[in-house]
């Protein structure tokens, strides 16, 4: 993701996104499904660097680190551990606007084992509730 973040139409032209066009209140990051369980130090270090990349464009946004809703129990447990470490590190570095949201997992009843419509609605409801309960707008 860090290699393509900030680009749009990257399959054709790789044009740079103008980050001043829209300033979000919150940014969600949902990575790890395609990576699987791996070396925690490497994953967490790359994740922290990626948060820094996002933070450089959106210094005031809340950043919500999420597990993969498609993950099995094994991956979800690993991601929750990784994200806890990442969030703790960022908070200890003085960035209190980084948090995590663990949503339901094993949601893969749709096309090519992705969530179907009802599962997407479940994820949206869980994330909405999390944002409403944890972020002061």
| pTM of the complete model | 0.92
Q: Tell me if 46 is assigned to some domain.
A: yes
Work out how many domains the chain is built from and give that number. Answer: 1
Q: What per-residue string of b and e applies to 7-33 under the rule 16 or more CB within 10 Å gives b?
A: eeeeeeeeeeeeeeeeeeebbebbbbb
- Mean pLDDT over all residues of the chain? 93
Domain span holding position 70: 21-104+111-134
Q: What is the pLDDT of residue 136?
A: 80
Give the CATH number of the domain where residue 28 resides. Answer: 3.40.50.1110
59-83: pLDDT as tens digits: 999 999 999 999 999 999 999 999 9
Q: Tell me if 79 is assigned to some domain.
A: yes
Q: Tell me if 127 is assigned to some domain.
A: yes
Identify the band that residue 137 occupies on the pLDDT scale cut at 50, 70 and 90: confident
71-125: pLDDT as tens digits: 999 999 999 999 999 999 999 999 999 999 999 999 989 998 999 999 999 999 9
Q: Tell me if 125 is assigned to some domain.
A: yes
């Amino acid at each position: 993701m860090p290699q393509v973040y900030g680009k749009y139409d990257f399959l054709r032209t790789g044009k740079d996104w103008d980050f001043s066009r829209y300033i979000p209140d919150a940014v969600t990051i949902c990575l790890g499904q395609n990576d699987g369980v791996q070396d925690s130090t490497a994953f967490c270090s790359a994740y922290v660097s990626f948060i820094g990349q996002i933070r450089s464009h959106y210094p005031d946004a809340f950043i919500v680190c999420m597990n993969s809703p498609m993950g099995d129990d094994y991956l979800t447990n690993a991601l929750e551990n990784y994200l806890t470490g990442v969030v703790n590190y960022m908070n200890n570095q003085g960035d209190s606007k980084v948090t995590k949201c663990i949503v339901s997992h094993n949601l893969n009843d749709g096309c090519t084992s992705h969530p179907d419509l009802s599962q997407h609605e479940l994820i949206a409801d869980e994330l909405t509730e999390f944002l409403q309960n944890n972020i002061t707008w």
